[in-house]
Amino acid sequence: MKVLICMGLLAGLVAAQDSAKTQTASTAKRTTKTAAITAIPKDAVETTPGFYRWTDKDGKAWTYRRTPFGVTRWPEESVDLRQDALDKQKAASERTTAVEQGDSIRFEQATPFGKRTWVRKKSELNEDEQKIWNQQRKTGNTNRTAEKE
């Protein structure tokens, strides 16, 4: 009986050692696959605030960005973030209308959740609202007034 218990304990120890070896090996493989990027290269060029461009020795261009979770990088050709932002801003301004209400302007924007409406004094318009208002005046769409609606 004592022999069986001892053999069972011995088998359990061997299994535990094998398990520990495989866990260590798999952890080693994972750490070698994904080398952590801890810093932006010193010769990287800042293209826009917070974004850096760097070309490696093979001639491949990378974009770097410092985030709260560390430094991230991706191939430059994968995404042009500036162009995406401009496209989104242009689409939002195309969906927005502006109507003059005395010394204020009422903006209406179509969203997937319904119409969004806000009113801003002419003297307090931000850059985007000013662009929308100027575009509306140029195209002549401002002849609608709040009283007509």
pLDDT tens-place values along the chain, 149 residues long: 555 555 555 565 556 566 656 565 555 555 444 567 788 999 999 888 888 999 999 989 999 998 888 899 988 775 555 666 667 767 777 888 899 999 999 999 888 899 999 999 999 988 888 888 988 888 776 545 444 44
In terms of C-beta density within 10 A (0-12 exposed, 13-18 middle, 19 or more buried), how is residue 47 classed?
middle
Tell me how far apart the terminal alpha carbons of the chain are, to the nearest angstrom: 95
What letter would DSSP give residue 108?
A: E
Q: Phi and psi (nearest 5°) for 39?
A: -145, 155
